[in-house]
Copies of this chain bind each other. A is one copy, B any other.
Amino acid sequence: MLKVALLGAGRIGQVHARSMTASRQCRVAAVADVNAAAADTLAAEIGAESCSVEAVIADPTIDAVLIATSTDTHSDLITRATAAGKAVLCEKPVDLSLDRALATLAAAEATGRPVMIGFNRRFDPNFAALKAAFEAGEIGKGELLSITSYDPAPPPVEYIKVSGGLFRDMMIHDFDMACWIFGGPPARVTAHGAALVDPAIGTAGDIDTAVVTMVWADGRIAVIKNSRRAGYGYDQRLELLGSGGLLSAQNVLENTVQKVTPQGAVAAKPVHFFLERYMRAYEIEWQAFLDALTQGAPMPVTLREGVAALACAEAAARALVGGVTVEITAAMLGAGDA
């Protein structure tokens, strides 16, 4: 049985704690957090030890760590944990700085330790079913991918200011989805966006509504639409046109009830936000990490793929500012390090 530790006892750390303790393939030995009280509480709840990050990394009996700390610590923790011989599952994004992420990639790959990035949406049963149908050839060759990804409401502006911006904080998921569906990163990226939802987001130097077009070397195209506010709830959809048909993954509703009155036919609202929508995906994600570790299979989402998503975000940010199409170069993908 694997001995694992959880770094980060905040909201997303608590979500992971549920999956980690439910598995019979691992035992959660330790929880660490800069907020010691948070670590204590969560550790007590799941029967683990509360200790420092340093102690976790120094403990040679811990096989793997799940990094759910703040984004600015990811690169450092990935580097230190892999250097200490541990396998790592790290929350997205790898970093807000592409340069730093590339350095982390080089360092981690040098250790040979497996690192997985927590792009949870790949494990959503709906998106996974779409991917599987596509891989099975059910609609032929992929040509045009559309990703719709709307949050129910914008976060506080204080959060926006430290988030790295919409592309690195929110659309990073969609960049990964596009690269995942099309089997690798695009050749170039164009971006459009504005602060249509909240002018304060614009004042803070960010946007809340955006469209990014990604083009692959062979002409395939992906379009990503993001909004920080779809008042009706969380909206997460994929649609892929192929040479033989169309695959789509529709949004997830709260229930199957419909009401028909003189006002029309009303179906349920979408589930509210990512915790409701992706709880099952988080469970499957953790299981996939354990399966890869115990069976020696490749990580389902590699650190290199996490860097590619960040390269797309970096390119989109530059494209938006310059009003130009930005090429994704080999250097941006850490190609020289592979």
Contacts and interface: CB of A to CB of B under 8 A. Distances in A.
B257 A245 contact: no
A230 B264 CA distance: 12
A143 B209 contact: yes
A284 interface: no
Interface string A225-263: 101011111010000010111111111111111111111
A144 B263 contact: no
Interface stretch (A30-38, A216-224, A329-337): A216-224
Q: Can you tell how many copies of this chain the complex includes?
A: 4
A144 B257 contact: no
B250 A256 contact: yes
A268 interface: yes
A130 interface: yes
A265 to B, nearest CB: 4
Contacts of A194: 215, 218-221
A126 B74 CA distance: 40
Interface of A: 125-126, 129-130, 133, 138-139, 141, 143-144, 146, 148, 150, 190, 192-197, 209-211, 213, 215, 218-221, 223, 225, 227, 229-233, 235, 241, 243-270, 323-325
The 3 closest A-B pairs by CB, nearest first: A194-B219, A245-B261, A250-B256
